Amino acid sequence: MKPVIRRFALLCILAVFVVFGLYQFAGREPALQPARKASHTSGRIDHPVKWKDIPLRYPVSSMIPLPTGNPAVIPNIQHEFGVETLENKKKREMRLEAVKRTFLHSWKGYKKYAWMQDEVTPVSGGYKNEFGGRAVTLVDTLDTLSIMGLEKELSLALKALESIDFTTTDVPTVNVFETTIRYLGGLLSTYDLSGGKHTILLDKATDLGDMLYTAFDTPNRLPITRWDWENGALNGTQEASSLSLSAELGSLSLEFTRLSQLTGDPKYFDAVQRISDQFEKCQNTTSIPGLWPVRVNPQRENFNADRTFTFGGMSDSLYEYFPKQHMLLGGLVSQPRKLYISAIEAAKKYLFFRPLNLNNQDILLSGTAKKNAADFIKLQPEIQHLSCFTGGMLGIGAKIFSRPDDLDIARKLVNGCIWAYESMPSGIMPESFNVIPCPDPDDCVWSRQRWHEGILSGRTRGFSENAETVIEEGKLAPGFTEITDRRFLLRPEAIESVFILYRITGDTSLQDKAWRMFQAVNRSTKTSISNSAISDVTDEEPEHIDECESFWMAETLKYFYLTFSEPDVISLDEWVFNTEAHPLRRPQRE
Ligand SMILES: *[C@@H]1O[C@H](CO)[C@@H](O)[C@H](O)[C@H]1NC(C)=O
Ligand SMILES: *[C@@H]1O[C@H](CO)[C@@H](O)[C@H](O)[C@H]1NC(C)=O
Ligand SMILES: *[C@@H]1O[C@H](CO)[C@@H](O)[C@H](O)[C@H]1NC(C)=O
């Protein structure tokens, strides 16, 4: 969700979401999340569904084929690593083992307390099923088991996978985006990592892909992003959603494309290519040409109504998928590059900014832009942990599209998130917070007075007019004006970007930063059962909140592990990560 400065605005937005019946946000889930519907089966269907045999309501008149031919030359992403010193190797391997031990601790907790359930509750030792009850943690973690070389655990998990039915689910409404990035991404990635050996993975992925494909069976072939799957199976009327988050719509392309590549059936690629074509058609007609707003209307094909723009939650992976789709398609299609470059040029103008900070570091953060009624575009400097993937994205784009200036921006964005981690007593960045953007990046010299002014100017009347009181009550670190959500939910985005920049530059100081982040996260989140989200990163000893989403083992620990592994383990020149950190194999030139 987009950053908002005032609590009142936040409540309004929340209310709007409840009204629209959006029970959960897009995959990089924002801070304030209304309660989900209780999980239950509505009970109209209690047996596996043969989705392939259900006649299409709206068959396509011609199928968009996968591009064919020898992949184009795409410049390498990874640094050319030389021989490492013995001392460095020793340190690196010690860190790698520590990450692996933490992973095994969490995995054992899941096995013991929540096996075959969606998530373990890491304080109470129970479990939760909020992702359809198809063992999302298990499926999401398969490829991490493979990458960490835990063959025995992987065999056990693959055996358990046999009994999971991917043609139905326990919830009445399927979140197509979450299901795609976590389940489909996890299955396809582990299949790729096995070199095609474990055919059960592709079989299950195809079952699930065929189920999800029915969500695209609408008059304009754009999907129903929160989908009543039983209605879909029972030949009910279907129409594309009238309100979707742009990330939900734009972050299906990698998984569906890979499924077409692996099965030879072009229909999955056809389905997502129609979405990309829609984004292309609208790119220059939005309130900020180049960017797409958070909310779009696929039913009416209206992508211009909303005036809020961000690389944070609800839009994030839409942008992330353009350079990644370029790589997965072997550089044979010009569209993703075009869409990416126009978006980045707009983001540089309207989203990225240098924040006022104590040591006058030359760092960048990515905020939110809103166009108001007077057509004035205003930057809202609320930063989300979710937006920390941006540095990694800019880094990859800089390399594959030969845009060297973007690499400097990438590094500054990564340093911005590291700054936020290091500013907190726990050593962990909060879920969301506000800072002070310097209107002129060359005039960004710290003073306590500027900080105080920034604090007071962002507040509504009725708040204390005394900045020192606000600082003390809000436990604000220098440069922070408000912490709008103090939690840490075990999210991966910051370490994801540190990992990518390390692989691009070979700069071992990034490994040192990663190690500090890891120690801080381990210190504050470890429970006797697993690891837990925490309530307040401004406490040195934060409270656990009994939650461990599947991305902890699927993403966060995987990116920590890869930061300390040898650089040819999942090389970025051979693999492309989906937005749930599932590596898919890139086509190689002959
Ligand atoms: C599905 O519904 C449509 C429209 O109501 C109808 O024309 C069609 O015959 C139905 N198909 C099946 C297989 O029931
Ligand atoms: C949008 O505008 C930019 C800049 O004028 C141009 O380079 C790009 O091709 C346009 N994109 C589309 C999809 O028309
Ligand atoms: C992780 O945290 C635990 C508990 O606080 C501690 O015993 C352990 O040494 C930590 N591990 C690392 C690598 O920091």
Instruction: Give the ligand at the shortest distance from the Cα of 292.
Output: 2
Atom of ligand 1 nearest to the CA of 55: 13
pLDDT tens string 110-139:
999 999 999 999 999 999 999 989 999 999
**What is the crossing angle of helices 136-147 and 557-564, to 10°?**
0
Going by pLDDT thresholds of 50, 70 and 90, the confidence category of residue 461 is low
Confidence of residue 5 (pLDDT cuts 50, 70, 90): very low
| Residues 257, 66 contacting (CB under 8 angstroms) | yes
Q: How many residues does the chain have?
A: 590
Could you say which of 207, 217, 255, 493 is catalytic? Answer: 493
Distance CA 468, CA 465 (A): 9
Q: 205-219, 465-479, 501-515: which range is least confident on average?
A: 465-479
pLDDT by residue (tens digit) across 10-48?
A: 344 434 444 343 333 333 433 323 233 333 445 789 899
CA of 154 to the centre of ligand 3 (A): 26
Strand ranges for 207-299 from DSSP E: 226-228, 244-245, 295-296
**pLDDT higher at 28 or 144:** 144
Arithmetic mean of pLDDT, 486-514: 98
Contacts of 17 (CB under 8 A, 6+ apart): 25, 34
CB 104 within 8 A of CB 152: no
Q: How far is CA 497 from CA 387, 418, 421, 491, in A?
A: 10, 10, 13, 12
Q: Which of 413, 405, 407 lies closest to 366, judged by CA? A: 413
Establish whether residue 526 lines the binding site of ligand 3, counting it when its CB lies within 6 angstroms of any ligand atom. yes
Res. 229: pLDDT tops 60: yes
**Helix, strand, or coil (residue 506):** coil
User: pLDDT tens across 314-333, in order?
Assistant: 999 999 999 999 999 999 99
DSSP code of 290? Answer: T
Q: Is 579 one of the annotated binding-site residues?
A: yes
* From 255, 270, 406, 431, the catalytic residue: 431
The question of whether 362 is a catalytic residue gets the answer no
* CB distance 355 to 479 below 8 Å: yes
Which residue shows structure tokens 């907190």? 424
Is 453 part of the annotated catalytic residue set?
no
In tens, the pLDDT along 189-212 reads 999 999 999 999 999 999 999 999
Nearest protein Cα to ligand 1, atom 12: 235
pLDDT per residue over 343-374, tens digit each? Answer: 999 999 999 999 999 999 999 999 999 999 99
- Of the residues 522, 527, 528, which should be mutated to test ligand 3's pocket, given the most ligand atoms within 8 Å of the CB? 522
Q: What is the signed CA dihedral for 406, 442, 493, 503, rounded to 10 degrees?
A: 40
Please tell me the predicted confidence (pLDDT) of residue 12: 40
How far apart are the C-alpha atoms of 424 and 474, rounded to whole Å?
12
Structural domains of the chain, with CATH: 32-42+94-582 (1.50.10.10)
Mean pLDDT (the chain, rounded): 93
Q: Kindly state the average pLDDT of the residues 160-169.
A: 97
For residue 450, the one-letter residue type is R
What is the model's pTM?
0.93
- 80 counts as catalytic: no
Half-sphere exposure of 28 (CA within 13 A, CB side): 36
Rg (CA), the chain: 23
Q: Which residues line ligand 1 (CB under 6 A)?
A: 55, 235
Token pair 């205003």 in the structure block, residue = 378
When pLDDT is cut at 50, 70 and 90, the band that residue 576 belongs to is very high
DSSP result, 39-71? P----S--S---GGGSPPSS--SSPPPPP-SSP
pLDDT at 44: 84
Instruction: Read off the pLDDT of each residue in 449-459 and give the average, rounded to a whole number.
Output: 90
130 is catalytic: no
Pocket test for ligand 2, best of 279, 284, 345 (most atoms within 8 A of CB): 284
Q: Ligand 2 atom 8: the closest Cα is on which residue? A: 342
In percent, the amount of the chain with pLDDT more than 90 equals 89
Banded pLDDT at 464 (limits 50, 70, 90): low
Ligand nearest to the CA of 54: 1
Active-site residue identified among 118, 178, 192, 547: 178
Atom of ligand 2 minimally distant from the CA of 281: 13
Q: Are 336 and 325 in contact (CB under 8 A)?
A: yes
- Residue bearing tokens 């370490």: 495
Q: Is the CB of 519 under 6 A from ligand 3?
A: yes
Atom of ligand 2 nearest to the CA of 280: 13
**Percent above pLDDT 70 for the chain:** 92
Q: What's 179's DSSP letter?
A: I
Q: Which of 214, 235, 238, 239 to mutate to test the pocket of ligand 1 (most atoms within 8 A of CB)?
A: 235
Where do we find the tokens 């960004």?
Answer: 444
| Residue 534 predicted with pLDDT over 50 | yes
| Dihedral of the alpha carbons of 125, 129, 130, 133, in degrees to the nearest 10 | 150
* For residues 459-465, average pLDDT: 61
pLDDT digits 0-9 by tens, 72-90 = 999 999 999 999 999 999 9
